[in-house]
């Protein structure tokens, strides 16, 4: 919904196990393939920029690191993928790690 891809261009192929955020919410990640002619209309109040990263980048473990931070008095582990001028981290990075692991297994 935040990047406005029309439903007819989205082909859901499955989903991953739920991921819990540090704040206690659960996210169910869906995996989809997009048709070649899709377009993006981002919600500017929620998304500042849309960019792409080749899947192979995520598949190489050396491109990610694991960090620990305190959140509400507890240690929280999270992944970080630095890529060019962007940093992909937190729940987004965890979902990517789960997807990579699922594809590789």
In this prediction, residue 24 carries a pLDDT of: 87
* Full residue range of the structural domain in which residue 97 is found: 7-104
- Structural domain count, the chain: 1
Q: What's the mean pLDDT in 9-28?
A: 93
Whether 1 shows a pLDDT value over 80: the answer reads no
Please report, for the domain that includes residue 77, its CATH number: 3.90.79.10
pTM for the complete prediction?
Answer: 0.86
Residue 1 counted as domain residue: no
Residue 2 counted as domain residue: no
Give the tens place of pLDDT for each residue, 31-83.
999 999 999 999 999 999 999 999 999 999 999 999 999 998 989 899 999 99
CA distances from 38 to 25, 49, 102 (A): 30, 17, 26
Q: In a 10 Å sphere around its CB, with 0-12 CB exposed, 13-18 middle and 19+ buried, how is residue 25 labelled?
A: exposed
Q: What's the mean pLDDT in 20-29?
A: 91
**Cα–chain-centroid distance for residue 53?**
11
């Amino acid at each position: 919904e935040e990047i406005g891809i029309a439903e007819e261009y989205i082909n859901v192929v499955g989903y991953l196990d739920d991921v819990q955020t540090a704040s206690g919410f659960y996210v169910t990640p869906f995996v989809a393939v997009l048709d070649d002619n899709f377009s993006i209309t981002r919600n500017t109040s929620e998304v500042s920029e849309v960019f792409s990263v080749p899947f192979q980048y995520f598949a190489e473990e050396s491109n990610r690191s694991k960090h620990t931070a305190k959140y509400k008095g507890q240690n929280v582990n999270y992944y970080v993928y630095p890529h060019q001028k962007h940093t992909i981290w937190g729940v987004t990075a965890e979902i990517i790690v789960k997807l990579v692991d699922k594809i590789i297994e």
